[in-house]
Amino acid sequence: MPTKAAQVRASGSPVYVIAGFLGSGKTTLLKRALAHELERGIKPAVLMNEFGEVDVDGALLHDHPRSNDIELQSLLSGCICCDLSGAFTEKVGHLLKKTQGAPLFVETTGLADTGQVVVGIEKALAQHSARARLASVIVMVDAPRFLKLGAYWPAADDHLKQADTVVLNKLDQIDDRQAALVERRVRSVNPAARIVRAIHADVPIDRLLERPAGRRVAQIVTGTIKESTAGYRSGSFKILRPFEPDRLGRWLRRYQRSVVRLKGYVRVQGRQGMQEVQWVMGSLSIAPYQGVKQSQAKIVVIGRRVAWQRFLEGLERCLVWPRRRVVRRRPAGKRVSQ
């Protein structure tokens, strides 16, 4: 019978993202997950990202009694979701080569755009490893401070929407009624996520590292829709991948009567840099974006009687997805002509 470690190798490296706002308990959870893996004889890999120049959390792991069994890399002075994205793809690739099937944990900075981090991981997996997979996105929530978080960090909801599991942490600092309020709020933002309650990130790690059934790869169009006047509604959305322009044109033509306006700056397959997209009642134009430098693609859509969920799902299908590298094995002793 294969050992547990061998089973892990057979199915390729699972990659776990541990995200959450500053101080929510990401490193506390990471340490628990590492201890759990090491106990089972598995040597995990870690990619830490710190916004500052000092690798405080990385240093804590270097001091770990079994630090020699942990493959650790850090990315400092920036965020893997934007300014370090190239280095991030490279480091993920490098670590996946070393892990040989053991899990890779990616701890983001507390300010990272989790959606972009997920896109970066998918890109790295497509480039470097046909067998590794994004297993799960775990978002830590500092429960006592969560209801006030929106004031500090307007992107908090977008980030929660990416989670497969949300850990409501620091429950020793609030009572049951407050915990229930936080849970209800989290549930309203991401009804599909599994929610786990914790103190000092003490969660059943086995269950946490299970691959959730039917993981949505990433929510790549995120945003909110608001009621406007005269029956119109408007939505603002972040777009995490480049558009395939012909597909976008075909999809929008279906909405000639209901989507009256769409504009923004996006990335487009085959074109360098950000592009300005303009749709005015049936007419689409795409041209190089001349405005102030933007790192995040965004659009605004205005429409009436639009089935928004369907519209957004269709919009996601107009985006370009990374291609998996296919490893073809040659049968021994035979040349394969392609």
CB of 20 to ligand GTP, least distance (A): 5
Nearest distance, CB of residue 75 and ligand GTP, angstroms? 13
Among 7, 67, 100, 173, binds ligand GTP (CB under 6 A): 173
DSSP-assigned letters across all residues of 196-247: EE-STT---HHHHTSPPTT--S---EEEEEEE-STTEEEEEEEE-S-B-HHH
Among 62, 97, 200, 250, binds ligand GTP (CB under 6 A): 200
Distance (Å) of CA 90 to CA 86, 97, 248: 6, 11, 31
Q: How far apart are CA 131 and CA 128, in angstroms?
A: 9
Residue 252 near ligand GTP by CB under 6 A: no
Note whether 260 binds ligand GTP by CB under 6 A. no
Tokens found for residue 284: 């689409």
Residue 110 to residue 87: CA distance in whole angstroms:
19
Beta carbon nearer to ligand GTP, 28 or 190: 28
Q: If binding is defined by CB under 6 A, does position 108 make contact with ligand GTP?
A: no
CB of 338 to ligand GTP, least distance (A): 47
Residue 170 in contact with ligand GTP, rule: CB under 6 A: yes
Give min distance, CB of 171 to ligand GTP, in A.
Answer: 7
Total site size for ligand GTP, rule CB under 6 A: 18
Helices 85-99 and 114-128 cross at an angle (nearest 10°) of: 50
20 is a site residue for ligand GTP (CB under 6 A): yes
Q: Which of 110, 120, 242, 303 forms a contact with ligand GTP (CB under 6 A)?
A: 110
Beta carbon of residue 79, minimum distance to ligand GTP (angstroms, whole number): 12
For residue 208, which of 192, 193, 186 has the smallest C-alpha distance? 193
Residue from the set 55, 57, 157, 164 that interacts with ligand GTP by CB under 6 A: 57
The sheet with strand 275-280 has its strands ordered as 221-227, 232-239, 298-304, 259-266, 275-280, 283-288
Which value, to the nearest 10 degrees, does the dihedral of the CA atoms of residues 175, 179, 181, 184 take?
-160
Q: Is 199 in the site for ligand GTP (CB under 6 A)?
A: yes
What Å distances lie between residue 278 and 245, 284, 309, 330, CA to CA? Answer: 12, 6, 21, 49
Residue 172 is a binding residue for ligand GTP (CB under 6 A): yes
Should residue 201 be labelled a site residue for ligand GTP when binding is judged by CB under 6 A? yes
- Write out the residues near ligand GTP by the rule CB under 6 A: 20, 22-28, 57, 110, 140, 169-170, 172-173, 199-201
